[in-house]
């Protein structure tokens, strides 16, 4: 049972007399109190005070907190699963899987900070006898930036939301978190926020290490503008991410907004691969496009197919799509936006519809596929725009050299995929090289959906896929968004952080006088 309250550190608060209803798949949800300016200030003030303590907590201590959050989320049991299903319209299996991903993500970050080498300690010892000038003792490591504001994502009510990857990474780094809940799943947010609050109390964290506020754009913008905020993490639309990025840059003290926005995740099918595996590739793509009603940031929205062989490929794809059961979209707003985008696509003169899943009762849908040729695609930049939902556009090409023209005109992407027989890959070296310029993750012979949470993952890409291609929002490297390097020059040992002490008491990997050592 949720109360509609804001969670401000160790208390709950409902100062606003007005309430709003969550936008849910079934259209029903309890009244939620939007945060008032005084509640926003209270959450940020507490976060600032908590930071003074939390920033110096050891990796072991933060790991205990992160694991306790995972335990408390699991202890919510069926209530959490049912609430998230009701608010998102996502099926039970998907929500259970997402809870598993959320908890294992928290535990992965726990182990990561416990091990400790992530601080990238570098030590260059003094050389008083160096000529012509003595060399000073300089030691450097990464430190947390301060309170982080996290915007939760509509399409992942758990794994990219309240206790999702952004929150886990920020807390692991030593940054307090203030969440702006998404209007599409405020009850799920409240349950998870209370679980985090319980974990924080149980593991003796400072009051204010975590808060969560309800509200509309105004609340989100006030959080971005708040002087205490040092960074923002966002997953959602290009419009929303860019608006918050611009706002953060207009602050008297600009701060980074790590926004993960749209991507069409192009797939390039090479002739040799189409000849030998047309059917299996078509089935893989059909499954990937329709997974989660196409509401994934890695949904493949563009497929480049050789002209020779496209007929059979499109037929298999359409046939596979026709077996997909109607799926519920996240909410009516996203459903209507999908229909609008599809309508636009259908009225583009140079796109034909290969398969159109018949319309179901709102907000249920079935997948659709369009087709055009490379010449038309290159002329019309709108064809690169993301249709958020189960739609993909086939683009036919005649020679693989043509693909180089495309690779150099595509916007920044989260992923780019190539299907080719392995022995022929050397022929496409130039294309593979060019794709590195536009995408954060290159995939061979499999589909882009399914983002592994691991140390090597890169979930990010050049603008407009994200606002900063140097970072990832999935995997342990996501911690780097919320830290900055600090160098200590001429410091005596007792005033240095333990990670930089002589004798390496934390036993972490360090670059000492030019050599990596543990
Ligand atoms: P959204 O509209 O970008 O909203 C995401 C969050 O940012 C929400 O909390 C929203 O507030 C807030 N927000 C958006 N614009 C804002 C602004 N100008 N000022 C302050 N706050 C702002 O995304 P969505 O609701 O999740 O989905 C809408 C569309 O986004 C979809 O149709 C799809 O095209 C795209 N999308 C993309 C991805 C992706 O992974 N690339 C994921 C999800 C959605 P409220 O809670 O008040 O709405």
Q: Each residue of 33-59: pLDDT tens digit? A: 999 999 999 999 999 999 999 999 999
Which residue intervals of the chain bear CATH 3.40.605.10? Answer: 38-261+471-481
For 518, other C-beta atoms within 10 Å of its C-beta total 10
C-alpha–C-alpha distance, residues 421 and 163, integer Å: 41
Superfamily covering domain 267-444 = Aldehyde Dehydrogenase; Chain A, domain 2 (3.40.309.10)
Backbone angles phi, psi at 513, to 5 degrees: 45, 45
> Which residues, 6 or more positions from 411, have their beta carbon under 8 angstroms from its beta carbon?
384, 438, 462, 463, 464, 465
- Secondary structure letter of residue 96 according to DSSP: H
Assess contact for 166 and 178: CB atoms under 8 A: no
C-alpha–C-alpha distance, residues 140 and 487, integer Å: 4
> 73 CA to middle of ligand 1, Å?
25
For the question of residue 297 being annotated catalytic, the response is yes
Identify the active-site residue in 260, 336, 358, 494.
Answer: 260
Tell me if 183 CB under 6 Å of ligand 1.
yes
- Residue written as token pair 């991903």: 101
Report CA Rg, the chain.
25
Per cent of the chain over pLDDT 90 is 93
> CB-side exposure of 168: number of CA atoms within 13 Å?
34
Q: Is 26 helix (H, G, I), strand (E, B) or coil?
A: coil
C-alpha–C-alpha distance, residues 299 and 63, integer Å: 33
Assess contact for 195 and 35: CB atoms under 8 A: no
Which residue intervals of the chain bear CATH 3.40.309.10? Answer: 267-444
Tell me if 261 CB under 6 Å of ligand 1.
yes
Task: For CA atoms 405, 445, 302, 235, give the dihedral sign.
Answer: negative
**Protein fold of 38-261+471-481:** Aldehyde Dehydrogenase; Chain A, domain 1 (3.40.605)
Q: What is the pLDDT of residue 23?
A: 64
Q: Would you say residue 223 has pLDDT above 60? A: yes
C-alpha–C-alpha distance, residues 266 and 437, integer Å: 13
C-alpha–C-alpha distance, residues 276 and 445, integer Å: 13
| pLDDT average, residue stretch 274-282 | 96
Tell me if 256 CB under 6 Å of ligand 1.
no
Q: Would you say residue 359 has pLDDT above 80? A: no
The encoded tokens of residue 367 equal 């997948």
Q: Is 341 helix (H, G, I), strand (E, B) or coil?
A: helix
Tell me if 185 CB under 6 Å of ligand 1.
no
Give the range among 4-18, 23-37, 442-456 with minimum mean pLDDT.
23-37
∠ CA 118-436-392 to the nearest 5 degrees?
Answer: 110
| pLDDT average, residue stretch 76-86 | 96
Question: H helices of 21-120, where?
Answer: 37-54, 59-75, 77-88, 92-115
Give me the numbers of helices (H) and strands (E) for the chain, helices first please.
Answer: 14, 23
Tell me if 334 CB under 6 Å of ligand 1.
yes
Mutate to test the pocket of ligand 1, among 232, 236, 259, 363 (most ligand atoms within 8 A of CB): 236
Q: Which residue's CA is the nearest one to ligand 1's atom 30? A: 237
C-alpha–C-alpha distance, residues 54 and 236, integer Å: 29
Residue 427 banded pLDDT, cuts 50, 70, 90: very high
Assess contact for 300 and 414: CB atoms under 8 A: no
263 CA: nearest ligand 1 atom: 41
Backbone angles phi, psi at 391, to 5 degrees: -135, 140
Identify the active-site residue in 175, 183, 190, 297.
Answer: 297
């Amino acid at each position: 049972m949720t109360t509609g309250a804001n969670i401000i550190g160790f208390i709950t608060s409902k100062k606003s007399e007005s309430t709003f209803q969550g936008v849910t798949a079934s259209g029903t949800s309890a009244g939620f109190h939007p945060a008032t300016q005084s509640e926003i200030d209270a959450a940020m003030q507490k976060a600032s005070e908590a930071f003074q303590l939390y920033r110096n907590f050891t990796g072991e201590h933060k790991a205990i907190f992160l694991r306790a959050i995972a335990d408390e989320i699991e202890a919510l049991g069926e209530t959490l699963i049912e609430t998230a299903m009701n608010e998102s319209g996502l099926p039970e299996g998907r929500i259970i899987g997402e809870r598993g991903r959320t908890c294992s993500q928290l535990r992965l970050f726990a182990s990561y900070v416990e091990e400790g080498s992530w601080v990238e300690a570098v030590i260059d010892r003094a050389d008083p006898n160096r000529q012509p000038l003595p060399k000073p003792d300089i030691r450097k490591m990464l430190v947390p930036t301060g309170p982080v504001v996290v915007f939760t994502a509509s399409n992942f009510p758990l794994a990219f939301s309240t206790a999702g990857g952004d929150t886990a990474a920020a807390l692991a780094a030593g940054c307090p978190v203030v969440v702006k809940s998404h209007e599409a799943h405020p009850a799920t947010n409240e349950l998870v926020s209370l679980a985090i609050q319980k974990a924080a109390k149980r593991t003796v964290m400072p009051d204010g290490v975590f808060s969560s506020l309800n509200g509309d754009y105004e609340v989100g913008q006030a959080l971005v503008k708040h002087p205490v905020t040092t960074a923002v993490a966002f997953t959602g639309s290009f419009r929303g991410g860019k608006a918050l990025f611009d706002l953060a840059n207009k602050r008297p003290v600009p701060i980074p907004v790590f926004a993960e926005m749209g991507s069409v995740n192009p797939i390039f099918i090479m002739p040799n691969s189409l000849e030998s595996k047309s059917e299996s590739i078509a089935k893989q793509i059909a499954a990937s496009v329709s997974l989660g009603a196409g509401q994934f940031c890695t949904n493949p929205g563009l497929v480049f197919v050789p002209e020779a062989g496209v007929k059979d490929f499109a037929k298999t794809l359409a046939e596979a799509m026709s077996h997909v059961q109607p799926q519920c979209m996240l909410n009516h707003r996203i459903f209507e936006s999908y229909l609008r985008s599809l309508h636009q696509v259908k009225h583009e003169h140079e796109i034909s519809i290969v398969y159109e899943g018949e319309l179901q009762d709102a907000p249920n849908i079935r997948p659709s596929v369009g087709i055009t040729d490379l010449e038309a695609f290159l002329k019309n930049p709108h064809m690169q725009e993301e249709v958020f939902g189960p739609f993909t556009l086939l683009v036919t090409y005649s020679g693989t050299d043509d693909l180089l023209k495309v690779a150099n005109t595509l916007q920044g992407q989260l992923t780019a995929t190539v299907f080719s027989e392995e022995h022929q890959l050397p022929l496409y070296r130039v294309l593979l090289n060019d794709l590195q310029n536009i995408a954060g993750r290159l995939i061979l012979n499999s589909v882009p959906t399914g983002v592994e949470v691991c140390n090597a993952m890169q979930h990010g890409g050049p603008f407009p896929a994200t606002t900063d291609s140097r970072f990832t929002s999935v995997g342990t490297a996501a911690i780097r968004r919320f830290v900055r390097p600090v160098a200590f020059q001429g410091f005596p040992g007792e005033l240095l952080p333990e990670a930089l002490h002589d004798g390496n008491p934390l036993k972490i990997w360090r670059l000492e006088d030019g050599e990596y050592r543990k």
